[in-house]
Amino acid sequence: MAPAATILASEEDGATVYRAEGEWLVVTAAQLDRRLRDLDMPQDRQVTVDLSGVDRLDSTGAWLLLRTEHELAARGNQVALANLQARFAPLLEQVRSRGVTEPVPHPVPPHHTFIGFLARVGMVTMLLANRVYHILGFTGLVTVTFLRLLRQPRRLRLVATLVQMEVVGLDAMPIVGLLSFLIGVVMAYQGADQLRRFGAEIYTVNLLGISILRELGVLLSAIIIAGRSGSAFTAQIGTMQVNEEIDALRTLGLDPVEVLVLPRLIGLGLTLPLLVFYADFMGILGGALMSWLVLDINIPNFLTQLQTAVTTTTLWVGVVKAPFFASIIALVGCFEGLNVTRSAESVGRLTTQSVVESIFFVIVTDAAFSIVFSMLKV
């Protein structure tokens, strides 16, 4: 049977008597609360709360009793709690001495007003500007460390760098290859569908060659690597930050930038161009297979047409961007990792932020490259 509790009001000898009955527990609190709110409380009277019918009491029940007493007293009544079973007395006292506080009203979030909205916009703008400033500062720090490394090449952590090359480069080959292949397939299919209307199916090869080599191969690889390795950089360095490992490095006289950032930066900088070349190859392969199936352009014909469409410059225009994108991903990933405070929660937040920021900067840089290349007429 579910526990039940109630409070009954009556008049006796010119005084109001409330009889509390049943089990005053947290499970009955909802029904008790409704009942108590419905009570028509008197004013300036003698009120006795008879507790003899209370069979069970927990701290929530005790609090409800004390709240009732408090509300009655606030209306000018003389309140007496009577006949409480002795075993509940310590609990009531405990709650009375420590627990009777009105809940603090929750502050209204200030951004719900217009001024609050403006303040928020301003704050976010300042935060963004501040962030860019700090990323630039970090880039400077890494550059200085890198130049020092060039003067003293023996300081390079060779094993760590090779491990990073394996993890960010070699291990990413299946996913980068598969996605590039599929993008090639989709491009060929969609391109063929449109160009067929003009009888220009053969130009599908040009479309494929130029778009994959110049843009898609490098962008796709950079975005996959930002999601796969940029986030891993932030999470790894961030976890080290939470564990105070970064502080431990510093106290041991080791420079975290040299030990943690440079191997990642160099490893990614060397492998991303190779990955881009591989992605270009797989994309073209996917396109070639699709052209063969859908357009009956066999592989030799495809290659002949490809040679007229693209030159080595087209390939280089794509691949040359890779080291820049790699630097962005590694710098943002490591920067956000080092930004982690000592709470585990900030690792998650900054990892998300690192991926969003690095993809954003990659695409902005890609746009900048397009402008530069069009001015250079390549």
Chain contacts with another protein (rule: CB under 8 A) = 25-27, 29-30, 33, 58-60, 63, 67, 87, 90-91, 93-95, 98-104, 106-107, 343-345
Q: Least distance in Å: CB of 38 to another protein?
A: 13
86 or 150: CB nearest another protein? 86
CB of 95 to another protein, least distance (A): 7
Q: Are 334 and 139 in contact (CB under 8 A)?
A: no
Tokens of 117: 């909205």
- Measured from the CB atom, the residue of 94 and 190 that comes closer to another protein is 94
For another protein, the closer of residues 11 and 33 by Cβ is: 33
| Nearer Cβ to another protein (67/228) | 67
The residue among 24 and 278 lying less far from another protein, judged by its C-beta, is 24
**Minimum CB–partner distance for residue 74 and another protein (Å):** 15
| CA quadruple 206, 178, 165, 250: dihedral, nearest 10 | 110
Burial class from Cβ neighbours inside 10 Å (0-12, 13-18, 19+) for residue 110 reads: exposed
**CB-neighbour burial class of residue 3 (10 A; exposed 0-12, middle 13-18, buried 19+):** middle
Q: CB of residue 32 vs another protein: minimum separation in angstroms?
A: 9
Q: Which helix (H) or strand (E) holds 50?
A: strand 46-57
Question: Which residue, 62 or 176, has its beta carbon nearer to another protein?
Answer: 62
**Least gap, CB of 340 to another protein (angstroms):** 12
Q: Cβ of residue 342: shortest distance to another protein, in angstroms? A: 9
The Cα–Cα gap between 261 and 237 comes to: 9
Which amino acid type is present at position 60?
T
- Retrieve residue 290's tokens: 């699709």
